[in-house]
């Protein structure tokens, strides 16, 4: 992975997701941000993942090790270093991450859920990066003065099928059948592309 294409991130915190009920949003920000402006990436995570990250951010010591604490302990016992985490892809509404680990002689990349990778990185102090491409398509501009640039709208085609199904049902409930039909067509293209060609 080209290091020149990587952007270092920092974890701002966890908040409730406004998009998905019962879920949380993990908020990341470019490391070279200023107090007045930044690029921020929200990542939707489940309650368990949010708790694992929040416990570390709030410096809470659990009575027994959590799964991510166990991973870190194993790293230490076997002399493994987590060198960095890279969020390298975003597809169908899902982020993909890679953890880079080394035992001093061999370095390997391991595919990981983004929430798990970040939870472990926070516990080890390893840096977190993303690519300029992921940053371009998933981040929004934050400005203290509120003068935001227009945010690029999320395309329906980029949403996962489960979110599309909920959106289609929403349109049906509101009797917006043309919009529902458009979403239904996209779902068909995603689930059965061979039969969706007109």
Question: 8-36 as b/e, with b when 16 or more CB fall inside 10 Å?
Answer: ebebbebeebeebeeebbbbbbbeeeeee
Higher pLDDT, 189 or 120: 120
Same domain for 112 and 137, yes or no, is yes
Q: Within a domain: residue 150?
A: no
Same domain for 136 and 172, yes or no, is no
Same domain for 122 and 177, yes or no, is no
In this predicted structure, the answer to whether residue 198 has a pLDDT above a threshold of 60 is no
What value does the mean pLDDT take over residues 74-86? 95
Same domain for 120 and 168, yes or no, is no
Cβ(85)–Cβ(121) below 8 Å: yes
pLDDT at 187: 84
Give the CA distances from residue 68 to residues 26, 36, 49, 98, in Å, rounded to whole numbers and listed in that order. 17, 34, 10, 16
Q: Within a domain: residue 148?
A: no
Query: pLDDT for 141-175, tens place per residue?
Result: 888 776 655 445 567 777 788 878 888 887 787 77
Confidence of residue 196 (pLDDT cuts 50, 70, 90): very low
d(C-alpha 135, C-alpha 197), whole Å: 32
Q: Within a domain: residue 76?
A: yes
Q: Is the pTM of this model over 0.75?
A: no
Query: pLDDT for 92-113, tens place per residue?
Result: 889 999 999 999 999 999 999 9
Quote the radius of gyration of the chain (alpha carbons, Å).
19
Same domain for 95 and 166, yes or no, is no
Same domain for 41 and 127, yes or no, is yes
Q: Within a domain: residue 129?
A: yes
What value does the mean pLDDT take over residues 129-134? 94
pLDDT at 1: 58
Same domain for 109 and 161, yes or no, is no
Domain count, the chain: 2
Top mean pLDDT of 43-52, 78-87, 88-97, 146-155 is at: 78-87
- Domain span at residue 21? 3-143
Token reading at 98:
């890679």
What value does the mean pLDDT take over residues 3-28? 83
């Amino acid at each position: 992975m080209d290091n020149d294409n990587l952007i270092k991130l920092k974890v701002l915190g966890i908040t409730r997701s406004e998009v998905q009920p019962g879920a949380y949003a993990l908020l990341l920000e470019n490391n070279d941000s200023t107090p007045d402006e930044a690029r921020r990436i929200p990542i939707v995570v489940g309650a368990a993942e949010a708790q694992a990250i929040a416990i570390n951010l709030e410096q809470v010591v659990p009575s027994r090790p959590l799964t991510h604490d166990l991973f870190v302990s194993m790293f230490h016992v076997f002399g493994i270093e987590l060198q960095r985490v890279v969020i390298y892809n975003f597809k169908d509404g899902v982020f993909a991450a890679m953890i880079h680990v080394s035992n001093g002689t061999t370095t390997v990349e391991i595919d990981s859920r983004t929430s798990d990778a970040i939870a472990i990185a926070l516990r080890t102090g390893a840096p977190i990066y993303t690519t300029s491409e992921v940053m371009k398509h998933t981040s929004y501009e934050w400005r203290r003065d509120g003068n935001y640039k227009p945010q690029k709208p999320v395309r329906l085609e980029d949403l996962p099928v489960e979110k599309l199904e909920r959106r289609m049902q929403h349109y049906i409930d509101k009797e917006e059948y043309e919009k529902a039909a458009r979403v239904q067509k996209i779902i068909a293209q995603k689930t059965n592309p061979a039969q969706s060609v007109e």
